[in-house]
Homo-oligomer: A and B are copies of this chain.
Amino acid sequence: MTSRCGVCCYNEAKRVAIFGGTHGNEMSGIMLVNMWSKNEAEIQRSGVMTKPFITNPRAVEKCTRYVDTDLNRAFTPENLSAPCADELPYEVQRAQEINKMFGPKGSANAYDVIFDLHNTTSNMGSTLILESSADHFTLQMVHYIKKAIAPASCPVLLNEHPLLKYSTSRSVAKHPIGLEVGPQPQGVLRSNIFESMRAIMKHALDFIELFNNGVEFPPCSVDVFRVQERMDYPRDTNGNITAMVHPNLQDCDWEPLNPGDPMFQTFDGRTIPYEGSSPVYPTFINEAAYYEKQQAFVTTRRETLAAYAIRKTEQ
């Protein structure tokens, strides 16, 4: 990226990947990627090479989140530089392969854009996940998508928290972007969720085509929800949960949780309120995969980011 006359210049996004099956039981992305692998017409755009790709085929085969370890946490420097060995966990081996094919992560050879398609059991709607507030290319892209699908909403989750950010599959690309669409149970394919994800991908690829064709996108602002804190379930001394997400909070992703609002309901019927000092916006509420990660939901704060104007680098 270079900056000239107040306009950020990025190279053309010639190589784009769409990942499905990073979690093998999240069906929308798996089915879309399989469909596009057989027939690419829908994802073809002039001047863009778009590759649909199943990242964790063994987990997809078993319809499970992962085989040995969470692939979407596996793209750490340690894993990617570990000596190749058959004893490595399957997903670590797979991360190395993916890094070779689509990276190397952080290098000039890496893919320009990777979309990673996920589902959640939470009522998050069609959420876009960003990893950096300084990537004006993805900020402009989500701005474009939000406008295109309005009046339907499209929340943007920004995870650049120093402790809670994790090493995603998509982080191999120069411009990583996650799609997280729900609610959908693991192992289930719902037509409404499938079509929502498909519509977002259409607009995302349209944006890339426009950008590559030389369109300049003017400065804009983007409302995002910035990851703040992981909230765990109440647990007993053995680590077993002793309460559920309160019915007033269940399914209320992106709505404000104010100090004193009900947060958990214990099995014996007591209400545990939120005791923070100011309102937060919870999301990933009651996501199935996060029980093992000691997370009932994550809190966020609203923030408006300024996106610079962007256009492609002159050749």
**Known contacts A35-B267, A267-B31, A267-B35; A288/B244 CB under 8 A:** no
Decide yes or no whether A121 CB sits under 8 A from chain B.
yes
- Among A121, A185, A250, max chain B CB count under 10 A is at A185
The yes or no answer to A189 lying at the interface (CB within 8 A) is yes
Residues of B within 8 A of A121 (CB): 185, 187-188
Distance of A264 from chain B, by nearest CB (Å): 9
Residues of B near A188 (CB, < 8 A) are 121, 185, 286-288
Tell me the interface secondary structure of chain A in the complex. Answer: loop
Pick the contact of A244 from B63, B189, B292 — CB < 8 Å?
Answer: B189
Minimum CB–CB distance from A240 to chain B (whole Å) comes to 7
**Residues of B contacting A185 in the complex (Cβ-Cβ under 8 angstroms):** 121, 183-186, 188, 288
Query: How far does the Cβ of A70 sit from chain B's closest Cβ, in whole Å?
Result: 14
CA gap between A121 and B182 in the complex, in Å: 14
- 8 Å CB interface, A277-297 against B: 286-289, 291-292
Question: Using a Cβ–Cβ cut-off of 8 Å, how many residues does chain A contribute to the interface with B?
Answer: 32
Q: Which positions 179-218 of chain A face chain B at CB distance < 8 Å?
A: 183-192, 194
Contact B247 A192 (CB under 8 A): yes
Query: Which A residues between 19 and 56 are near B, CB-CB below 8 angstroms?
Result: 31, 34-35
Once A31-B267, A64-B64 are accepted as A-B contacts, the answer to whether A244 and B191 lie under 8 Å apart by CB is yes
A-B contact list, 7 entries, CB within 8 Å = A35-B267, A121-B185, A183-B185, A185-B185, A185-B188, A190-B245, A190-B250
Interface residues of A (CB under 8 A from B): 31, 34-35, 63-64, 121, 183-192, 194, 240-241, 244-247, 250, 265, 267, 286-289, 291-292
